[in-house]
DNA sequence: TCGAATTTTTGAAAGCTTTCAATTAGTACC
DNA sequence: GGTACTAATTGAAAGCTTTCAAAAATTCGA
């Protein structure tokens, strides 16, 4: 591959001049500039990112660390980040941690040796990111934490307004007439799961409703967790008439478990999701959910990172992205009978 | 960050020796070796991937070029590749092309300057990959093409057995008693779409059934395409009793359009998908589909690439991954009446 | 114990860019 | 046309590693 030395030779200028033309680091007389550019074009020269990065102590790489690209919420996040990064000349190195903090650590240590311009991280369980980020920042790289925050995080962050989203979703259930609301949360050491639970509790308390401890179940953010906890909830006496799920994957499990228990959603049990994944439209019944834009999450993180790279050294930024409600068919007015199990279920059309 | 010079100074050896210890490129006497390793450990040294790549003319980066990570089939592919790459010390740079060959070209040109060890590519529409791959290979980088192949591709490839998958799926429809089979294919300039169509046709011909040209519809690989072509198919006289979709996203649109036309699946129209995405379990009715493992696709590509990196310079490899049928509820025995539209639909349980 | 053969270790160069101090060219003004 | 500037250009060093030829150390056999 051609290098700057070739350009310099052919254009009959020095190496330094070629660099100045390419980077605009010093004034270059117009005819010379044109001559160099012409050679660059004709030869199809592209600067070595390695040599450039080595010299500048910074590459055009952004490390993106996420739990698992296979989880349907994350691709949009990655895409949002990639789009903005790409259009600004940056490239993404994608790393999956499977929520394993030792895998995360391995990625963090390895990525450092690429001298990335920055990192966008969805922290793993019990992440040690706070300490690691310190050394990245010392090396002049930005670190933006998204979706959920490790404990003690004081750097830039982009998160959804989980609390208000869950709060409004729960209000919706209450307005529909539900009095016995249960919640199946994600792992509560994750800030997003915790915030959603807080939003739920806030709405329940404000409405003066009781919340028996058995009505709050914690599990993993997946279908299986949702299904097993739902089985448990439906066996309680009295059972809840509505279940608020920590995310859509959990909600998927809830729907399955309701069906397997011989009950019908929304006739006998209402379900509310969170995330508004594409699948929410497809489930039967279509899932009402709190919509948060993963794409915007990722893109905002990239935007903040680019600002940092451009030199912004102001105080930490905490962007909170608002959610919106997507009302579909999984929530209805509850059956009035004390024990819905024995009640003659009457189909009541959900309000749209 | 510490560098090899520091190690050499502290361990009281030369730079070359440190390198030899780290890479095993020359015999180093045991006590010396231990001394160096001890310093490396205590200082937490990690080699600069940039300097190493620059010198070796090859980095531990693999470029992964795909149409769009947001498309539900691709995350598993990426994950399969990442898992094997990561465990062998390689990192993935992820690039989305949106099936736009100029965007693909931009990525290909830019990636080159990272001196990647190789590329895994799902080619875009009208991809110019064949020419580009040449120059990558000349630079000692492997290029593996997956999922679909650009025209004239003669390099390594990993694809699903699209033809046999579609063939067997269509046989299944025929065995269920369908005589009027329609197909909605993806863009036929994509080899995978074409192969699936061929498999479909093969089964139809072998069964001695007629295939009116209007029963073959081509569209994009998405919901919308599936929906609009289905509307068209259902207006034909006579309409098909079964529709084979080019992939599950198309099938999703087919299901929606059937419902919107006031018909029922599988009672009045049977539907067969391709890919067996996670959503296939969720649709109503659950979608019968041809299952292909994206994870295995990605992982196999990474395996071949690693073999190439390790020095294998044998002839091009063409791995074909077998598919399997996932029978669910979207296919049933067709209603016998000549015009299903007017027939009194009788629910017939699909065989499992 | 000596010389030859082998193994270890060393030092410098190369890979490609950016950057800085130093040099050269050009401009403006008298 | 010459001086005092300013602006443009140059050349070398630095960033960190690998690799190769050469030098030094060790081993082996007699």
Query: What is the number of H-type helices and E-type strands within chain A?
Result: 12, 12
Q: Which residues of A touch B46 (CB under 8 A)?
A: 109-110, 112-113
Q: Same domain for A84 and A125? A: yes
Q: Same domain for A151 and A166? A: no
Q: What integer pLDDT is reported at residue B335 of this predicted model?
A: 81
The separation, in Å, between residue A29 CA and nucleotide C30 C1' comes to 27
Cα separation of B130 and B153, whole Å?
A: 6
Helix or strand run (H / E) with residue B1 = none
Query: Which strand D nucleotides have any atom less than 7 A from protein CB atoms?
Result: 7-21
Q: What integer pLDDT is reported at residue A79 of this predicted model?
A: 98
Q: Same domain for B287 and B168? A: yes
Is there a domain that residue B343 lies in? Answer: no
Domain enclosing residue B41, as ranges: 4-47
Boundary residue ending a domain (B292, B310, B345): B292
Of A48, A51, A69, the CB nearest to B78: A69
Give the mean pLDDT of chain A.
Answer: 94
Is there a domain that residue B330 lies in? Answer: no
Helices B191-206 and B162-175 sit at what angle, rounded to 10 degrees?
40
Q: Same domain for A155 and A169? A: no
Q: Same domain for A129 and A248? A: no
A108: nearest Cα among A140, A136, A85, A148? A136
Residue B229, CA distances (Å) to A6, A149, B226, B241, B249 in order: 56, 46, 5, 15, 13
Q: Same domain for A65 and A149? A: yes
Q: Same domain for B151 and B189? A: no
Q: What integer pLDDT is reported at residue B341 of this predicted model?
A: 46
Is there a domain that residue A147 lies in? Answer: yes
CATH at B36: 1.10.260.40
Is there a domain that residue A345 lies in? Answer: no
Please say whether the beta carbons of A269 and A234 come within 8 A: yes
Tell me what percent of the residues of chain A surpass a pLDDT of 90.
93
Is there a domain that residue A63 lies in? Answer: yes
Local structure of residue A240 (DSSP, 8 states): P
Is there a domain that residue A34 lies in? Answer: yes
CATH at A286: 3.40.50.2300
Pairing of strands A288-291, A324-326: antiparallel
Does at least one atom of strand D sit less than 7 Å from the CB of B207? Answer: no
Q: Same domain for A287 and A298? A: no
Does at least one atom of strand D sit less than 7 Å from the CB of B60? Answer: no
Closest residue in B to A135 (Cα) is B1
Cα separation of B187 and B212, whole Å?
A: 19
Please answer yes or no on whether A49 and B113 come within 8 Å at the CB atom. yes
Tell me what percent of the residues of chain A surpass a pLDDT of 70.
95
Instruction: Identify the residue whose tokens are 């450039």.
Output: A52
The separation, in Å, between residue A112 CA and nucleotide D18 C1' comes to 20
Q: How far does the CA of residue A205 sit from the closest CA of chain B (Å)?
A: 34
Walk along chain B (352 residues) and give the pLDDT tens digit of each residue: 899 999 999 999 999 999 999 999 998 999 999 999 999 999 999 999 999 999 999 999 999 999 999 999 999 999 999 999 999 999 999 999 999 999 999 999 999 999 999 999 999 999 989 999 999 999 999 999 999 999 889 999 999 999 999 999 999 999 999 999 999 999 999 999 999 999 999 999 999 999 999 999 999 999 999 999 999 999 999 999 999 999 999 999 999 999 999 999 999 999 999 999 999 999 999 999 999 999 999 999 999 999 999 999 999 999 999 999 999 999 999 986 444 444 444 443 444 4
**Structural domain total, chain B:** 3
Say whether A128 sits in a helix, a strand or coil: coil
Helix or strand run (H / E) with residue A326 = strand A324-326
Say whether A98 sits in a helix, a strand or coil: coil
Asked if pLDDT for residue A156 goes beyond 80, the answer is yes
B123: nearest Cα among B102, B99, B143, B103? B99
Cα separation of A184 and A216, whole Å?
A: 6
The separation, in Å, between residue A24 CA and nucleotide D12 C1' comes to 21
Q: Same domain for B34 and B63? A: no
| Across all strands, nucleotide nearest A57 (CA–C1') | D15
> Which residues make Cβ contacts (< 8 Å) with residue B169, sequence separation at least 6?
B199, B200, B244, B272, B274, B288, B289, B290, B325
Please say whether the beta carbons of A306 and A290 come within 8 A: no
Q: Same domain for A9 and A34? A: yes
Is there a domain that residue B52 lies in? Answer: no
Is there a domain that residue A267 lies in? Answer: yes
Cα separation of B137 and B152, whole Å?
A: 16
Of B47, B79, B282, the CB nearest to A279: B282
Q: What integer pLDDT is reported at residue A151 of this predicted model?
A: 87
The per-residue pLDDT for range A157-212, each reduced to its tens digit, is 999 999 999 999 999 999 999 999 999 999 999 999 999 999 999 999 999 999 99
Residue A340 confidence class, pLDDT cut points 50, 70, 90: very low
Does at least one atom of strand D sit less than 7 Å from the CB of A288? Answer: no
Q: Same domain for A235 and A133? A: no
Cα separation of B172 and A302, whole Å?
A: 48
Q: Which residues of A touch B75 (CB under 8 A)?
A: 69-70, 72, 74-75
Output the pTM of the full model. Answer: 0.92
Q: Same domain for A176 and A279? A: yes
């Amino acid at each position: 591959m051609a290098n700057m030395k070739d350009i310099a030779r052919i254009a009959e200028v020095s190496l330094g001049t070629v660099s100045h033309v390419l980077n605009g680091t010093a004034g270059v007389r117009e005819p010379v500039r044109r001559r160099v550019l012409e050679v660059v074009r004709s030869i199809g020269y592209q600067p070595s990112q390695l040599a450039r990065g080595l010299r500048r102590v910074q590459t055009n790489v952004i490390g993106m660390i996420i739990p698992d690209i296979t989880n349907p919420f994350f691709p949009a996040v990655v895409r949002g980040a990639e789009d903005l990064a790409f259009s600004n000349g940056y490239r993404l190195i994608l790393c999956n941690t499977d929520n394993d903090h030792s895998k995360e650590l391995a990625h963090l240590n390895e990525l450092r040796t690429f001298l990335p311009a920055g990192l966008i991280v969805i922290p793993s369980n019990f992440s040690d990111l706070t300490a690691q980020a310190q050394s990245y920042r010392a090396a002049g790289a930005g670190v933006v934490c998204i979706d959920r925050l490790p404990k003690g995080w004081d750097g830039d962050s982009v998160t959804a307004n989980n609390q208000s989203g869950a709060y409004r979703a729960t209000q919706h259930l209450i307005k529909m007439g539900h009095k016995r609301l249960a919640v199946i949360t994600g792992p509560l050491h994750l800030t997003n799961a915790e915030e959603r639970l807080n939003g739920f509790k806030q709405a329940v308390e404000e409405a003066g409703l009781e919340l028996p401890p058995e009505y709050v179940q914690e599990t993993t953010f997946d279908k299986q967790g949702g299904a097993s906890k739902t089985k448990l909830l439906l066996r309680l006496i009295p059972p809840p008439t509505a279940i608020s799920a920590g995310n859509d994957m959990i909600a998927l499990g809830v729907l399955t478990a309701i069906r397997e228990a011989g009950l019908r959603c929304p006739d006998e049990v209402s379900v509310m999701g969170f995330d508004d994944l594409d699948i929410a439209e497809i489930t039967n019944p279509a899932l009402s959910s709190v919509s948060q834009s993963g794409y915007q999450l990722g893109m905002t993180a990239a935007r903040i990172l680019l600002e940092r790279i451009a030199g912004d050294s102001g105080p930490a930024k905490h962007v909170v992205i608002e959610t919106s409600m997507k009302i579909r068919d999984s929530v209805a007015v509850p059956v009035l009978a004390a024990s819905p199990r024995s009640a003659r279920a009457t189909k009541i059309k959900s309000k749209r």
